Every structure is written in structure tokens, then in C-alpha cells.
Amino acid sequence: MNKALSAEVTDRLKSVRWLVLDVDGVLTDGWVILDDDGREIKHFNVRDGHALKMIMRYGIGVMFLTGRKSRVLEHRARDLEITEVHQKVTNKLEYFMEVIGRKGISFDEVAYMGDDVVDIPLLKRVAFSATVADAAEEVLPMVDYVSSCPGGKGAVRDVCKIILKAQGKWEEVAKRYHFPESL
């Protein structure tokens, strides 16, 4: 279900300096598993995690922005060395406007990936907007790119690769890992 990227969208990707991600349904499959003691369990994809490490290595900041609060996410962020973790955010656009004001970031430097209606206001403001294959139907027409992968199953890796390719950095990744650039 990938939308082809226009030349204008590809050009906007060149200025992206931050990748901001919703968590449940984007970094995870959307399931929240609670054990008998109330401990939360989530599935995270290691390929998505590796892609986040790659994109950070090439100068793109990563931020998690989610409506829920989860210690599991804090552990995952620490594992990936992501320090920008914003939880229990009820109005993502309003909150993010405060964050970018403090950090001196412009919407033109931001790619955002979300999967539900709460994400639409922010998706409509950023330089590049993306979603997962199994996003809420209202989100699909609102974004620049729909990954062929569902949430928690490689969609984040897909978007990281698009950003790195648009910025001319994918060739360096290919050389580092010894595979053909055309992949």
C-alpha cells in the first residue's frame, strides 16, 4: 500500500533532522499485554531498533511521543540510547509545539510517524508524515507515505531507510554493511 513519493516530498525529506514516533501501533503491534501482577509487556522489532540506531548514527535525532506512560518504553529507549521520550501526551500537536520551541526545531525538520486519529494534527504539520499499513483508515489519506509493513513489524525501519536514501546517506550504510546500494 506504499504511496509513491513525489519529487516535492523527497525534497522535503532532505531537511529532516528529527524522526518523531508514536509508540503503540507504530513501534509496537499495538497490543498491550498485562501479566497477573499488572506488569506490562510489549513487542518491539529488533530491525526497527537497528534502523533507529543507524539513523541516529547519520545525524537524525529520534523522539518518542506517546499518549500512554509505560516503563517498558523507558527500558526500550534506554537500550537504544534515545533520550527524547515524551509520555502521557494527550494533545500531541500542542505539546510538540512547546518542545520544538524549547529546542529550536522547525516543523520543516521533522518526520512524524503515527497510526491513529490523535496523530493527524501533527501528521499534517511536519515536513514528512508516514504511517503503518494497519493504521486507522482516517490516517491513510493524511500522510505522505504508507509503509507496506504493519506497526511493530518493520514500518519504522522502512521509514528510516526512506529518509537515509533521500538524504544520500544510504550508500554509506550499504558500504558499512557490505551490501549493494540498490537494495
Domains of the chain: 7-176 (3.40.50.1000)
Distance of alpha carbon 15 from alpha carbon 106, whole angstroms: 10
The mean pLDDT of the chain is 94
Residue entry with cell 529546542: 103
H or E element that contains 21: strand 18-21
Q: Which of 23, 30, 33 minimizes the C-alpha distance to 74?
A: 23
pLDDT digits (tens, 9 = 90+) for 55-95: 999 999 999 999 999 999 999 999 999 999 999 999 999 99
pLDDT digits (tens, 9 = 90+) for 136-168: 999 999 999 999 999 999 999 999 999 999 999
- Report pLDDT for 21: 98
Q: 112: helix, coil or strand?
A: strand
Q: What is the crossing angle of helices 155-166 and 170-177, to 10°?
A: 110
> Is residue 2 predicted with pLDDT exceeding 70?
no
Report the predicted TM-score, pTM, of the whole model to 2 decimal places: 0.93
- Report pLDDT for 143: 97
